[in-house]
Structure formats: structure tokens, C-alpha cells
Amino acid sequence: MIHEKTILIVDDEPRTREGIRKTLEAWSTGRNRIQTAASGVEARDWLASQPADLLITDVRMPEFSGLSLVEAIQHFPSKPAVLIMSGYADFDYVHQAIKLGVVDYLLKPIDKEQLLQTVQKALHVHEQQRRIQTIQEMVDPKLFEVKERREQQGNTPIGEALAYIEAHLGEPMTMRELADSLHLNSSYFSVLFKEQVGLNFSEYLMRKRVQRAKELLVQTTMPISEIAESVGYQTDKYFIKVFKSLEGLSPSKYRHAVNERN
């Protein structure tokens, strides 16, 4: 059975742990995978071997506290959103946990309604964080360098050229036509473009088109042929060839790989 989300509950008190599990299972109705751990060490080892979307952990536990657990998972490749459970006397721990990026905290004894509201909020935050991470991973590092250069350039002819390319990626475009529109000699424009952008015109245009295609592959269900056309390629065969030369795999395999990871 495929589950939408995985939630790990960590508490050394069996009654609290099982109470939360039952509440979340009743709310989830089988949609999500609800797991439990009886100690911070058990939870750390579990998270080291498999991903979770949400970690709900008690702050005070013997040997390995909830705070130690949150610190331990900071550098895990797949990091869950975190909710901590605490008593009235634990606000120093709560303050430290918030510094570590904890989404929220639940005050013991746990109120069922508050638990469900907070869990839904935390899962939403985690979803947003994963989307942002996916977008960051998709960014072509060479285009990122261009962006930094452009911010230093200000309003220059090449800045205007980059803005035009951004706005007209799906249209036929040649360097000569773009140079003419800026009233520049095409040879001079070519040298100036490479000097200020760090890439020649054709490579920059190719990378921008593939970058836009990657975004469409991940964020939409558009067919490959439509994506190819929308980023300025007349045939999907040529688009696939260009995409593969830059990314090392076909557009359809890229889409599948990113969707599998998320």
C-alpha cells in the first residue's frame, strides 16, 4: 500500500505514545503511515535508514533527549518537519528547539484537536520546504552564476537582452535579431554577451530553455511534445537530444526521477 506521508512518534511513555498513534491513525484513515519509537536512540536509528515527513518527539527522555534527537538529524539527507511535546517546565528546551527549526510545540497533556491542527500545519510546512528544495536542486549552476553577475550589471544592453530572452523563450530567436533590436553590431554584441554573461549566446539560450523545461516537467503534467514547443523547440526529438546532453537523461526519465524522490 502506498502512503501519502510518514509520521514518527517518539515518547518513552507508552500511554502517551499509543494515544497519539491512535488519534493520528483515526484521523489518517489509512492514508498515512504512523510509526512509533520508545526512545531518542531508536528514533535516530530509524530515521537514519528511512525517510519521514514528520517527527513528533517528547523533549524529556532518558539518555537521549528530544533535543539531542533534533540535533542528530540536522544533517540527515532527508530531514522531517519536527513537532516537540513538552510540559510547562520545559520552555528553555522549547526555545532551543525552535532555533533548530522545529515547526511548533505541543503542550502536555496533549489536546486531540490541537494535535491534529498542528500536525496538518507541520505537514504543509514540510511540503513547501520540499518544493523549495526541489526547485533549488533544479537550478543550473551556470545560470545561477549569470544571475549573480546580472545583479551587479544594472540596466545595460546585455541586461535588456537577458530580460528579452526570459520573456520570449518559447519564440524563435537569433543572436543577430536580438542585436539588431538593441541597435548593436552582432559581432560586438556576441563579444559583449560572452564577456558580461560568461556564456556565449547560444549556450545561454539553450540552458535557459532546458531550465524552463525542467520546471514544467516537475510542476505540470504537460506532454513532452508540448513542453518542447513551449520552450522554443520545433521538434520534440531535437528537444530530447538537447535536454539529454545537458542533464544526462531524457525529459521523461528526469520527470520520473524527481517525482520518485518527492
1 domain-assigned: no
Write out pLDDT tens, residues 128-164: 888 888 878 888 999 988 887 776 656 789 988 999 9
What is residue 2's predicted lDDT score, i.e. its pLDDT?
54
Side-chain half-sphere exposure of 49, counting CA atoms within 13 A: 5
Secondary structure element (H or E) that encloses residue 100, with its range: none
**Bridge-based pairing state of the strands 6-10 and 54-58:** parallel
The arithmetic mean of pLDDT across residues 235-253, rounded, is 95
Write out pLDDT tens, residues 206-242: 999 999 999 999 889 999 999 999 999 999 999 999 9
128 and 158 fall within a common domain: no
Range in 88-92, 123-127, 181-185 with the lowest mean pLDDT: 88-92
Residue-range definition of the domain harbouring residue 253: 141-261
The DSSP output letter for 205 is H
174 domain-assigned: yes
What is residue 133's predicted lDDT score, i.e. its pLDDT?
82
What is residue 50's predicted lDDT score, i.e. its pLDDT?
92
Per cent of the chain over pLDDT 70 is 96
* Final residue belonging to a domain, choices 86, 101, 133: 133
Side-chain half-sphere exposure of 180, counting CA atoms within 13 A: 5
Give me the count of residues in the chain.
Answer: 262
Write out pLDDT tens, residues 25-80: 999 999 999 999 999 999 999 999 999 999 999 988 998 999 999 999 998 888 89
Beta carbons within 8 Å of 188's beta carbon, 6+ residues apart: 179
Helix intervals (H) in 6-56: 14-28, 40-49
The DSSP output letter for 90 is G
pLDDT value at 92 more than 90: no
DSSP string covering 51-72: --SEEEEES--SSS-HHHHHHH
16 and 111 fall within a common domain: yes
Count: domains in the chain: 2
pLDDT category at 97 given cuts 50, 70, 90 is: confident
93 domain-assigned: yes
Q: Please tell me the distance from the alpha carbon of residue 145 to that of residue 38, in angstroms, as a whole number.
A: 47
203 and 107 fall within a common domain: no
* Final residue belonging to a domain, choices 117, 133, 149: 133
* Final residue belonging to a domain, choices 86, 108, 133: 133
56 and 25 fall within a common domain: yes
Q: Does pTM top 0.85 for this prediction?
A: no
Selection from 52, 104, 101 nearest residue 78 by Cα: 52
190 and 150 fall within a common domain: yes
Residue 83, helix vs strand vs coil: strand
What is residue 148's predicted lDDT score, i.e. its pLDDT?
77
156-186: buried (b, 16+ CB within 10 Å) or exposed (e) per residue? Answer: ebbeebbeebeeebeeeeebeebbeeeebee
Q: Please tell me the distance from the alpha carbon of residue 103 to that of residue 100, in angstroms, as a whole number.
A: 9
Q: Is the peptide bond before 14 cis (omega within 30 degrees of 0)?
A: no
Q: Please tell me the distance from the alpha carbon of residue 185 to that of residue 194, in angstroms, as a whole number.
A: 14
Taken in order 91, 95, 100, 103, is the CA torsion positive or negative? positive
